[in-house]
Amino acid sequence: MTNSMTGFASGDLTTEYGDLVWELRTVNHRYLETQFKLPDGFRGLEPELRDLVAGKMKRGKLDATLQFRATTQAKKELKINEALAMQVIGQAQNLAQKIEAPRKFSGLEILRWPGVVTEDAIDTTELFQPVQELLSTSLDSLCSARAREGARIQTMLEDRLEQIAVLSGQVRARMPEVLAGIRERVLERARALEARIDDDRLEQELVMLAQKMDVAEELDRIDAHIEETRGAFSMDGAIGRRLDFLMQEFNREANTLGSKSADPVTTKAAVDLKVLIEQLREQIQNVE
């Protein structure tokens, strides 16, 4: 199956403590890299969340953001640290005596002092299981989105592979004509020299030249790479790296084909092959 490494998904869940929202976004990456943004109280859950992601994805960079909005009912009663408040008031009064025209301060300003007012924290451990379950369902949605995008990429890849197969067939069909043309040009040059030439030696040279210009082996390998690429589409798991290696092999054969080219048509076919292979490579960068 061909999966893309790019996608987006979100999921939300309402609990008695508040609302949970996961936002997931992935882009292409050489390996699997996960970055979590978790509220206070949930960071201890990160190792379990990473294992959950690794069980569903093999490659890509995932940015996962969890939001938690506590309900009014879940919020506990505010508590005032009276001892700390009295210390703040006392220090403020002492400073006021040393100021020529002190400004009056209000009780609200005292309450704003860090630590004077505290709120019972929600026990987030009660939400650990719902957070994991919500992440699991959100990851399923993300994987489905990546699969749909991967199907579109595969359609494009198959179209380019078909074009490569057509070009390979055209070059193969033209090779006898190309080799015959090379033979005829060499014979014409030999006759133009008006010199005595050993026919057996000339024939040997023609055979060696034909072998040097023969690209049948390169075309066979290109056809084999096409079948290998098509076969990879039906494999389970991540296939992006395998496809990337195949693109390197495609490029190697296209370069050799161009270097052996003996006529403009074959040269043009080699250039067209490299264009198609580059288009394949660009899309394969997004394949998991």
Which of 19-23, 69-73, 82-86, 138-142 is the least confident region? 69-73
Which of 17-21, 131-135, 196-200 is the least confident region? 196-200
* Confidence (pLDDT) at 194: 58
What is the rounded CA–CA span in Å between residue 219 and residue 178?
A: 15
What is the rounded CA–CA span in Å between residue 27 and residue 30?
A: 10
Residue 47 structure tokens: 């190792």
* Confidence (pLDDT) at 84: 78
Q: Could you tell me which residues come within 8 angstroms of residue 135 by beta carbon, excluding any fewer than 6 positions away?
A: 11, 22, 49, 52, 53, 64, 66
Same domain, 51 and 84: no
pTM equals 0.72
State yes or no: pLDDT of 168 exceeds 80: yes
Question: Does some domain include residue 232?
Answer: yes
Question: Does some domain include residue 1?
Answer: no
* Confidence (pLDDT) at 1: 74
State yes or no: pLDDT of 233 exceeds 70: yes
Same domain, 261 and 190: yes
Same domain, 86 and 192: no
Domain interval for residue 131: 7-74+126-145
Question: Does some domain include residue 66?
Answer: yes
Same domain, 64 and 92: no
What is the rounded CA–CA span in Å between residue 37 and residue 42?
A: 10
State how many domains the chain has. 3
Q: Cα–Cα distances in Å, from 218 out to 93, 246, 248, 268? A: 92, 14, 14, 16
Question: Does some domain include residue 231?
Answer: yes
* Confidence (pLDDT) at 85: 77
Same domain, 20 and 70: yes
Closest CA to 178 of 269, 96, 252: 269
